[in-house]
Amino acid sequence: MTVQHLRRIDQARNMARSYEVSVQPGLFGDVAVVRHWGRIGTAGQSKEFWFTDEVQADEMIGAILRQKQRRGYELLKSP
């Protein structure tokens, strides 16, 4: 399972957002890209996208990460 954590904090705009995207295996050989986002400290929202193979899922994650970094999110290092 691949997990990427991002966050964007801008105190001048009272913005403190968290974003997480992960690839999770399904039961039948498929994979899901799970997106979870929201204000830091809240439950937030989630959405899943299902693919037949991991290559398509990795392409979607790459596009999401590029978009979020263009919008000012910082990629956090995994522990």
Burial class (CB in 10 A: 0-12, 13-18, 19+), 46: exposed
Q: pTM for this structure? A: 0.85
pLDDT of residue 6: 96
CB neighbour list of residue 31: distance below 8 Å, 6 or more residues apart: 23, 24, 25, 50, 51, 53, 54, 57
Tens digit of pLDDT for each residue in 3-59? Answer: 999 999 999 999 999 999 999 999 999 999 999 999 999 999 999 999 999 999 999
pLDDT of residue 18: 96
* Domains of the chain, residue spans: 2-72
2-72: which CATH number, 3.10.105.10, 2.40.110.20, 3.40.50.300, 2.20.140.10? 2.20.140.10
pLDDT surpasses 90 at 1:
no
